[in-house]
Amino acid sequence: MSPRHALIAVTGLTLSACATAPVMHTDAELNDVGIRCGLALGELIQDDSEKKLLLVIRQDPSPEQRLCVAHWARKNNLKTVFVRMDFP
């Protein structure tokens, strides 16, 4: 193996070791974050099948609510998804 290939292999292993596995947060944790961000209970969820996604289910979240949730999600290695649902 050439020195260049060895360097590439070591770099790849180092970067993969830094990747964190998604953590499943409890309903209590998500409700706490939701309340701090001005959401109602149950409007912030994390699905077992897609642990990396943090879902915000709210008809019309304010810019401040979006920013608050996105900031917390980023700190916890999650991707925020805003789901707009029109309730009757």
What's the pTM? Answer: 0.72
Let me know if residue 78 belongs to a domain.
Answer: yes
- Would residue 60 count as lying in a domain? yes
Instruction: Tell which residue, 24, 43, 23, has the closest CA to residue 33.
Output: 43
Q: Is 28 left (phi over 0), alpha (psi -120 to 50) or beta?
A: alpha
Instruction: Decide if 5 is inside a domain.
Output: no
Does residue 72 lie in a domain region? Answer: yes
- Alpha-carbon distance of 23 to 81, in angstroms, equals 16
The residue segments making up the domain with residue 58 are 23-83
pLDDT in tens, the chain (88 residues): 555 555 566 566 555 555 667 789 999 999 999 999 999 999 999 988 999 999 999 988 999 999 999 999 999 999 999 998 776 7
> Does residue 54 lie in a domain region?
yes
Residue 17 forms part of a structural domain:
no
In a domain, 44, yes or no: yes
Q: What is the number of domains present in the chain?
A: 1
